[in-house]
Amino acid sequence: MNTLIKICGLSTPETLAVALDAGADMVGFVRFPKSPRHVTLDLGHRLSLQARGRAQRVVLLVNPDDEELAQAVEAINPDLIQLHGSETPERVAELRSMVRRPVMKALGVAEERDLEALASYAKASEHILLDAKPPRTADALPGGNGVAFDWKLLKGLDPALPVMLSGGLNPDNVAEAIRLTKPKAVDVSSGVESGPGLKDPARIEAFVRAARTAFAAQH
């Protein structure tokens, strides 16, 4: 698997253009009304057309039912589905079979035992996104909270697993995160924002540059 850099939660043509020009490999569009990064189906469609052929397009869904999944796929035509809820491995496999597209499953990590489910999900999806478990507050989002988990928990993780590191990454710490965990891919959302849902062009560019340099240093 080649190294990948994903910018998630893009919601305007302008910031999407910055991410594409910076060389992001994946761009993510959030379909979750409680999120400040939520996009309508119409906006998601337009952003997807803008990114087509330049980066892999990812639509993020949280515990979608069959109809919600079908609507998102029809409107946005993503290259990959990101499931960021409490979907079981069986449900992940079912949804993957339904749309016949690659799937990325997000797993919340706070302690070592949270990684025990990794192998089961790896059989049902193409990518596993390791994110920090959300804070235990009523308004916490499934992801995009800007919280990191203890990266040392990933020491000894099977390098063959298709893991993408997420959670609390930003332009200042992504190089250190890559050095410590040696992932094949990284994902950022709130770490390149000036406020909730407000992507910062300079931070997007700095993140991609720092991640790319750190990945190159591994070889």
**Residues annotated as catalytic (active site), given as ranges:** 8, 131
Neighbouring residues of 89: CB distance < 8 A, sequence distance ≥ 6:
117, 120, 121, 123, 124
Question: Helix and strand tally (H, E) in the chain?
Answer: 7, 10
Dist CA 55 CA 24 (whole Å): 7
Helix (H) or strand (E) holding 16: helix 13-22
Q: What is the spatial distance between Cα 219 and Cα 209, in angstroms, rounded to a whole number?
A: 16
- Please provide the size of the chain in residues: 219
Tokens coding 191: 């770490």
Burial of 129 (0-12, 13-18, 19+ CB in 10 A): buried
With CA atoms as reference, report the closest residue to 55 among 87, 108, 7, 117: 7
Distance CA 10, CA 37 (A): 7
